[in-house]
Amino acid sequence: MINLTWKIGGEAGFGIMTTGHMFSKIAVKHGYKIFDYIEYPSLIRGGHNVYEVRVSDEEIYSQEKKVDFLFALNKETYDLHKEEVREGGIIVYNSDNFKLNTGEKERNVAIYSLPLSKIISDIGAQKVMENNVALGATIAILSMEINALYLIIESIFRKKGQEVIDKNKEAAKAGYEYVTKNPPDGFDHKLLPRKAEPQIIATGNEAAGMGAFVGGCQFFVAYPMTPSSALLHIMAMYGEKYGVVVKHAEDEISVMNMAIGASYAGARSMIGTAGGGFSLMVEGLGLAGITETPVVVMVGQRPGPATGMPTWTSQGDLQFVIHAAQDEFPRIVLTPGDINEVFWLTAEAFNLAEIYQTPVFILTDKYLLESHASVPVFELNQVKINRGKLISFEEGDIAENYLRYKVTEDGIPKRALPGMKKALFIANSYEHDEYGWSTEDPKERVRQVDRRARKLETFKKTISKQNVYGDTVADLSIVAWGSTKGPVLQAMKDIKGRSDKIKVNFLHITHAWPFPADCVGDFLMKAKRTMIIESNSYSQMGLLIREQTGFDIKNKYLKYDGRPFYPEDIQNKIMEVINL
């Protein structure tokens, strides 16, 4: 098996993000799978940025702690990360930026000096092209094909003209040739091209964007907030081409209310935000709930409260999202675990929102939204659009005695739209009767509350199953939700690679609300030992499980330092619990 982690670090401003993303593409062009992960502070210039790309010829689910190839653009990167380099690895450093004492050879780690500035000035290129020199050198060191980089440069700069393309290629070539002339000593990892199918490389934001477009989104409105701003950028970039009206509104209160307005009028609507922005939307969420207006809400979690740690990861908003807004109304909370699930659940969220006429959440986090993974190309013919009980304009023009909030057995009434001639209604934020007129009548109130609640019961019947991975009979049963899926699956795979004797299985919750109590209860009932893994300090999912099933998961692996889980740490926890 081939497994290699390449990591580049330097000051913000070098273009670390672009460089890392390009390396991910280069690796996929060579037929490998990738998972990448970025760390950066909430600053525009200065500050330490790192981008790591894990490359493998097998399925990979997360980043890892160890590195095989460290590219240190500055001294800080070297000092902070040199210990992470595995035996047999290499550290390439920009010798025009800092000097290492000769003889500073790390364990069995090759050290390679690359004079980035000199190479770039020798060919008379601009400093901004240094990243191509770095990638050219990387390619040579890993015995990869420089052509892959050329193709990527061509597609990035296509609009800027041949001259720009040529200059960038020249920089790449210079880096490549420097290494060919001065080959490194004591490093022999190779990423030779392999045969493979085309792959999508996408972040969670990009997968959510694709899911939204394909899922029939017609109106997207947001206010920028890390980690979901990129979703707004994607929707804005491609909205015009794919028929989506995209609006950057004045604040999140407006975001939620514009989406509700557009959806009331019949447009499939979505909004994107983070916990802070969502806090401003909460009253509007209740409005969507009581008026039964479909809306898809993507919330990207980051550590909080308030501004918290903007560019880091967290799963601290689960209970908030499940409970936000006064009183009770149905909502659906989906918690995708990887790029594939983000795509499919986002597309499906539009159907659920319209079928159940209620808000549907995609609850994600920085780790999922900003890390790229390679996945097989989504099969578009699997996408189905279901608009639920929405009536057509033709029907609405002739309907007699239409009642928007009619009491039905499944709780779901027919939905008309403004612009219809006969099927009139009032979407009312006050409690209302079947027509929509305000009411304070106790019987009407109870009828409407009960009916709205029945919508969720109807939905519950469709989500009895959640995915279980691993051995049927296990020494340890793990429960996790959302993006923690990746590191858990990676840890399970790595354990299997070491020994077949350790039996572990894993229930991944993708539908957090309404809570799939039967399925989770069943899994826990059969478990010998249990452990919950999540990114918050209260164990919010653990508490929910106890509330909903009565099971108290004693072993908890909780992390709330803003960093994602690492499979190595999860392996250690698994061994700890099994050896108890």
Partner 1 sequence: MCETHNMIQTNLYDSKSPTWCPGCGDYGIWASLRTSLNQLGWGAEKYAVVYGVGCSGNMTDFIKCHGFHSLHGRAVPNAEGIKLANHELTVICEVGDGDCYGEGGNHLLHAMRGNADIKVLVHDNRVYGLTTGQTAPTSPSGFKSKSTPQGVIELPVNPLSFAITQGASFVAQGFAGDTIYLIKLITEALSHKGFALLNILQPCVSFNKFYGYAYYKERIYRLEEDNHNPESKEEALKRVMQDETRIPLGIIYKKERPTYQDQVGVLAKGTLVKQPMNNPKEFTSLLNIFTENPL
SS3 452: helix
CB of 425 to partner 1, least distance (A): 7
Q: Is 468 exposed, middle or buried (0-12, 13-18, 19+ CB in 10 A)?
A: middle
Judged by beta carbon, residue 145 or residue 568, the one nearer partner 1 is 145
351 part of the interface to partner 1, by CB under 8 A:
no
> Under the criterion CB under 8 A, does residue 21 sit at the interface with partner 1?
no
Region class of 120: left (phi > 0), else alpha (psi between -120 and 50), else beta? alpha
Q: Is 201 in the site for partner 1 (CB under 8 A)?
A: yes
Cβ nearer to partner 1, comparing 259 with 524: 259
Residue 29 in contact with partner 1, rule: CB under 8 A: yes
Query: Beta strand 295-301 with 85-94: parallel, antiparallel or unpaired?
Result: unpaired
Residue 270: phi and psi, rounded to 5, are -140, 150
From residue 159 to residue 198, the character string flagging contacts with partner 1 as x (rule: CB under 8 A) and all else as - is ----------------------------------xxxxxx
Residue-wise burial string across 199-236, b where 16 or more C-beta atoms lie within 10 A, e elsewhere: bbbbbbbbbbbbbbbbbbbbbbbbbebbbbbbbbbbbb
Q: How far is the CB of 199 from partner 1 (least distance, A)?
A: 6
Contacting residue, 426, 463, 468, 578, with partner 1 by CB under 8 A: 426
CA distances from 457 to 35, 89, 140, 194, 329 (A): 38, 55, 59, 49, 12
Pick the closer one to partner 1 by CB: 50 or 281: 281
Stretch 221-260: interaction string toward partner 1, x if CB under 8 A: x----------------xxx-xxxx-x-xxx-xxx-xxxx
Count of chain residues binding partner 1 (CB under 8 A):
83
Window 113-152: residues binding partner 1 (CB under 8 A) = 145, 147-148, 151
Contact 296, 346 (CB under 8 A): yes
Distance CA 32, CA 194 (A): 7
Give the shortest CB-41-to-partner 1 separation in angstroms. Answer: 27
Residue selected from 112, 378, 515, 523 as contacting partner 1 according to rule CB under 8 A: 378
Considering beta carbons, is residue 163 or 197 the nearer one to partner 1? Answer: 197
The tally of CA atoms less than 13 A away on the side-chain side of residue 101 is 3
Under rule CB under 8 A, which residues in 488-507 are in contact with partner 1?
none
* Structural tokens at position 111: 């050290």
Under the binding rule (CB under 8 A), the answer on residue 218 touching partner 1 is yes
Binding test (CB under 8 A) with partner 1, winner from 437, 465, 467, 550? 437
Q: Which of 87/240 has CB closer to partner 1?
A: 240
Select from 177-185, 330-338, 376-384, 505-513 the region that touches partner 1 (CB under 8 A): 376-384
263-282 binders of partner 1 (CB under 8 A): 263-269
Nearer to partner 1, 384 or 501 (CB): 384
Is residue 291 part of the contact set for partner 1 (CB under 8 A)?
yes
Residue keyed to tokens 């015009």: 240
The span from the CA of 534 to the CA of 322, in Å, is 16
Give the contacts of 136 (CB within 8 A, at least 6 positions apart): 146, 149, 171, 172, 173, 174, 175, 176, 177, 178, 179
Determine which residue in the list 429, 458, 539, 555 makes contact with partner 1, applying CB under 8 A. 429
Residue of the chain from 28, 208, 355, 491 that contacts partner 1 (CB under 8 A): 28
